[in-house]
Amino acid sequence: MVFDGINYLAVVIAAVVGFVASALWYKAFGNAWLMAQGRAPGDTTPKPGPFVVAGVAQLLMAFMLAGVLGHLGQINLQNGIIGAAFLWLGFVATTIAVNDSFQGSKVTLTLIDAGHWLVVLVLMGAIIGLFGV
């Protein structure tokens, strides 16, 4: 895959927006997310490690999304959103569903986590679509 012409500013902005959207998502659904894992609401002690991993992962995700979208054709808002949603449905939602199914996770956990990644990818796709690759 050739990554010539990727708009690195769009990638960084998309990653930051994805990280912020993640924080807001789990702020809204955090207690339900914990309960779906069999944990009590407020049963967390945030450590920096997972946040560093999340930040790096979202930067890589935005970069790869820009690369894939750039290979699919014309980059605009609509195509960025649709492309991101298709990638979510084909790869992210299915992976989460399979993993959670084999782990015996509650459907609620699957819906919260998969919904989170749908929001993140669609926002990233929109930003990359607006900025162009």
Tens of pLDDT, residues 113-133: 999 999 999 999 999 999 987
What does the pLDDT look like over 29-82, one tens digit per residue?
A: 999 999 999 999 877 778 999 999 999 999 999 999 999 999 988 899 999 999
Does 50 map to a domain?
yes
How many independent structural domains does the chain possess? 1
**Cα(38)–Cα(61) distance, integer angstroms:** 29
Residue 109 sits in which domain range? 8-131
Does 1 map to a domain?
no
**Cα(7)–Cα(100) distance, integer angstroms:** 35
Does 3 map to a domain?
no
Does 79 map to a domain?
yes
Does 101 map to a domain?
yes
